[in-house]
Structure 1
Amino acid sequence: MSKHFRVPSRLATRLQKLGIRVPDLLQSAGLPPGLLDQPRILVTTEELFALWHRIGQSAPNPAIGLDLGTESKAEHFDPVALAALSTGSFGEAVLQMARYKQLSCPEEIILETDRDEWSIQFRWLLANEPEPDALSDLCFAWVLCVARQGTGTRITPVRLELMQPRKYAKALARHFDCPIAFGAARNAIIFRASDAAIPFVTRNAELLAMLAPQFDEELKQHSGQESFPERVRTVIQRKLTGRRPKMQEIAHELHISTRTLQRRLQDEGYSFQQVLEEARHQLARHYLNSSELELSETAYLLGYEDANSFVRAFRMWEGVPPAQWRGAQRLKIAS
């Protein structure tokens, strides 16, 4: 997993066209004045969020994320998006983007199908606070942009779920052409499950055959750069869905024996329990920051038997109970 986000080099030009003075923006965000002039722009999650908080606050149009998340010219699509547009259907395209997303940033695309609905969420893996509204708007506008470009239709979601209200709710409703549910437990864009099968008119098997092997090779290289405890932690987090995964299960996912798993962790100064607690700690911060889940629901998702066990563990990690920590984080964002 990459630890930095790649910022498109065109961002500065687009911001200027939308009425934002880039030097003032960077200064108010506490970022280097020449940041967006670099040929390859890399920022941490904290820097990215600072940038997008200021974009949302400085823009003449508060719905600027929608403008920046929508492209009409193919030459402005990044390689991963081009590969997605070269697949056979909307569902294949999103799977393609989800597979290669972590090549460019510490972010994950989460896909869930529940009966007739198909939801798409973005999880910021190294975030210590909720993502800025403008950045969330951009992500969902980008999904819709790829869907409409690929299908050649004006496909519309079933609804958009957002945790925080927006003063520009009407602009959101016009852009996505669907109901907006504010105060939701998550940020997600929901389509019909059947939409995943809609074919892409942009399908290009030859281009995909050229791009996919290159991305796969990059994935292998990134996997090699990731430490073994980080790999174990990532697998544990995928398995933390209402139960505590067993060591044998994680070893099976990594295609090694339990004994080898233990030995390799010990070689790097870790135990399985330590990595499990780190995985829980990271996810706990994410859930408390990025959702309205009750403490009992968070405890369940992290594999604890009850909320009290989770509260005790969180107090050991952060020095304060989870409810107090969540409140402090929200006060920090509000200020």
Structure 2
Amino acid sequence: MHPAPVSLEEKDTVSIAFVLAAVARLDGAARARVLQAVGIPAELLRGPQSRVTADAFAALWLAVAAEMDDEFFGLDTRRMKPGSFKLLCRSLLPAADLGQALRRVLRGFGCLLDDIGAELSVCGGEARIVVSHRIQDEDTRRFAVETFLVLVHGLMCWLAGRRIPLRWARFAYPRPAHAREYALMYSPQLEFDAPDTAVAFDAALLGAPVVQDERGLKLFLAAAPRSVFLKYRNEEGTAARVRRRLKPCVEAGAEWPRLETVAAELHQSANTLRRRLAAEGASYQGLKDALRRDAAIHLLTGTRLSVEAIAARLGYEDASAFHRAFRKWLGMQPGEYRARAAPQGAALPAQPRLSP
């Protein structure tokens, strides 16, 4: 008999590295105030492998913006005052195609920010967004680049109504400890210590129509910033198809299929499936681990299930195997994580809107 289904929708999680970067420019009192408001225990910040829910990070983004009166985390010498992002989005709707809209995005950020910006160039069949900046502090520069590119790419995907796949992404700084996140944020084809910071995509996509209207804008802003920083997911790729196939195993505690079984369902050989996953920076075991990890975080912080029950719920034959896996993922035992996250409670606070 399988355990009763437990809803694990919206179970994405975000590395604690981004939480630390988001609150880095707040003083101690403001940081404590913001973390408490969004339900992220300060204790979690001490674990370098910790993760928080995507909803918690979205709420944090908005809370920091309200605290600093700045939608760009205080990363630029010019504040991006609340309401700026909404105005920028509204200016994009009349654009004829993605190319025109993207140029407006980059010009808009050029007006809103002083220390970071980007230019669009086309070389043959490849379009590139090349980032420039004058931010000296290494940590501030890295988070500014991460945030800027996520905003630009998220807007591109929203405008086109589909994910715009990036062919590659390169960064003019050393590989960060959380570089594994970049494969999902940008592209599996990554380069660090590059001569410049840039991302590339198919130039033919510049001619894609802008499909959004006022109604789409309202829905997008109502879900922002979550709708921005999770817009990068490639829902048509092999990894996404495998993830969808495995999702019921987490949702209902069903038996996990073997890779060969999933490959046959996708009408390809096991070796082909491995190769296609590797080309997207993924693996079958890695996808299983990510689903289990994110589900475990939600079950530990959002339910009163025992650790043993959660282990069984996620398909582990015994709790000790779950303990070992969880420690590998987050650097601590499940019970310790639950204790640290206890102030978060069973539910996150309602998510406010971006710049009402």
If the length of structure 2 is used for normalisation, what is the TM-score? 0.37
Q: Which has the higher contact order (CA 8 A, sep 6+)?
A: 2
